[in-house]
């Protein structure tokens, strides 16, 4: 199998699906001739033409509103929002229209599309290019939210998202666009939505994470192992619907859990994970569930490495929770 990074794997998925299904169209700011600000859509314009790879005006509300209209008329649009931080001008379209069309029409008009957007920090983008807005969409009934952490999953999850009947927000951690590399099959395959992956087995505590922070959690877990603490690390992959069964199985075994995410701590997805663990595993817990997250501040530029929950912040919490 060829080696790919995340950018190449996502590009491969888009190309494969555009060949397989002529309803698929890509649209967004600079996605055509330029190939996107991160070059994720590079080459698609030349291969499929301007009718299927559409450069749009700088209007996120317009991009998503247009994509919803396309979907209602039978196309399968994949709009790109250039940075996750720019998605909020389209928030009303996503929440008030996209998430509700199937329900308000009794299933007659499902508005099926996949919104791709890069998220998270790690590139010194400051507070307008580094946010992680997943919890604001997980709260909205009718949407699915996906966040891959490696090239294999990126391709398989994107293909599964495009073929899923529900609208999907596909969050791509920009910090690992080119840093995460691995073998990716050339042909067609899918990774099931709503299924988490245990990427590191362990017996002393469970670490639940997603996005670029997976690699920080693995780094911290490897350092903890040198102290005799074996952490089991779970990559959620699909953030909503949440694979709570995999989490519960792990926590019942370890009795301890730490949730890691780079979005601000208050009302982040980690809060819901901890709540569900308390509901389903309370009698198995040997220590209070803990969270290591971004701070409740705007994302900083100069102090980015202090804001992010990197391994040097995760490791002390692993040790404290394991020894509680």
Q: What percent of the chain has pLDDT above 70?
A: 100
Task: Classify residue 255: in a domain, yes or no.
Answer: yes
Tens digit of pLDDT for each residue in 88-133?
999 999 999 999 998 988 888 889 999 999 999 988 888 899 999 9
92 lies in the same domain as 222 = no
Task: Classify residue 190: in a domain, yes or no.
Answer: no
21 lies in the same domain as 168 = yes
Task: Classify residue 148: in a domain, yes or no.
Answer: yes
The mean pLDDT of 206-212, rounded to a whole number, is 98
Distances (CA, A) of 11 to 42, 177, 282: 7, 11, 43
13 lies in the same domain as 156 = yes
Please say which residue of 183, 213, 234 terminates a domain: 183
Residues with a catalytic annotation lie at 129
The mean pLDDT of 224-228, rounded to a whole number, is 97
CATH number at residue 168: 3.40.50.970
Query: Is pLDDT above 90 for 142?
Result: yes
Task: Classify residue 192: in a domain, yes or no.
Answer: no
State the Cα–Cα distance between residues 243 and 162, nearest whole angstrom: 20
161 lies in the same domain as 126 = yes
**In angstroms, how far apart are the furthest CA atoms of the chain?**
60
Q: How many domains does the chain have?
A: 2
Please say which residue of 134, 152, 183 terminates a domain: 183
pLDDT of residue 4: 98
State the Cα–Cα distance between residues 226 and 322, nearest whole angstrom: 13
Tell me phi and psi for residue 27, to 5 degrees: -145, 150
State the Cα–Cα distance between residues 11 and 46, nearest whole angstrom: 13
Three-state DSSP class for 166?
Answer: coil
150 lies in the same domain as 22 = yes
Query: Is pLDDT above 90 for 63?
Result: yes
Q: Look up the domain containing 225 and give its range.
A: 197-323
148 lies in the same domain as 202 = no
Please say which residue of 131, 159, 183 terminates a domain: 183
Task: Classify residue 256: in a domain, yes or no.
Answer: yes
29 lies in the same domain as 78 = yes
The mean pLDDT of 298-323, rounded to a whole number, is 94
pLDDT of residue 114: 98
Q: What share of the chain is helix, strand, coil (3-state, %, to 5)?
A: 40, 20, 40
Tens digit of pLDDT for each residue in 250-305?
999 999 999 999 999 999 999 999 999 999 999 999 999 999 999 999 999 889 99
Task: Classify residue 36: in a domain, yes or no.
Answer: yes
CATH number at residue 230: 3.40.50.920
Query: Is pLDDT above 90 for 311?
Result: yes
pTM: 0.96
253 lies in the same domain as 122 = no
113 lies in the same domain as 201 = no
| Average pLDDT score, the chain | 96
Task: Classify residue 188: in a domain, yes or no.
Answer: no
32 lies in the same domain as 175 = yes
pLDDT of residue 301: 86
121 lies in the same domain as 239 = no
Task: Classify residue 85: in a domain, yes or no.
Answer: yes
283 lies in the same domain as 208 = yes
Strands 114-119, 144-146: parallel, antiparallel or unpaired by DSSP? unpaired
């Amino acid at each position: 199998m060829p080696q790919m990074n995340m950018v190449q794997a996502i590009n491969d998925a888009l190309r494969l699906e555009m060949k397989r299904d002529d309803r698929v169209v890509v649209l967004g700011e600079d996605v055509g001739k330029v190939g996107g600000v991160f070059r994720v859509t590079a080459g698609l314009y030349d291969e499929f033409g301007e009718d299927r790879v559409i450069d749009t005006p700088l209007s996120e509300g317009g991009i998503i509103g247009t994509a919803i209209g396309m979907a209602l008329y039978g196309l399968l649009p994949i709009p790109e929002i250039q940075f996750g931080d720019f998605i909020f001008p389209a928030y009303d379209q996503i929440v008030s229209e996209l998430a509700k069309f199937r329900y308000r029409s009794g299933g007659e008009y499902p508005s099926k599309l996949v919104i791709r957007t890069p998220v998270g920090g790690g590139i010194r983008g400051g507070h307008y290019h580094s946010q992680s807005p997943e919890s604001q969409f997980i709260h909205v009934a009718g949407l699915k939210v996906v966040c891959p952490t490696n090239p294999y999953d990126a391709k398989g999850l994107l293909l599964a998202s495009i073929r899923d009947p529900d609208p999907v927000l596909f969050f791509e951690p920009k910090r690992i666009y080119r840093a995460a590399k691995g073998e990716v099959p050339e042909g067609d395959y899918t990774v099931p939505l709503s299924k988490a992956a245990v990427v590191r087995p362990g017996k002393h505590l469970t670490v639940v994470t997603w996005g670029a922070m997976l690699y920080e959690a693995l780094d911290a877990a490897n350092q903890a192992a040198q102290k005799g603490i074996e952490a089991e690390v779970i990559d959620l992959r699909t953030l909503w619907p949440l694979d709570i069964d995999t989490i519960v199985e792990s926590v019942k075994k370890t009795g301890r859990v730490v949730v890691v995410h780079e979005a601000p701590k208050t009302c982040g997805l980690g809060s819901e994970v901890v709540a569900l663990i308390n509901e389903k595993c309370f009698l198995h817990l040997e220590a209070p569930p803990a969270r290591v997250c971004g701070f409740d501040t705007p994302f900083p530029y100069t102090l980015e490495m202090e804001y992010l929950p990197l391994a040097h912040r995760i490791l002390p919490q692993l040790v404290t929770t394991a020894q509680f």
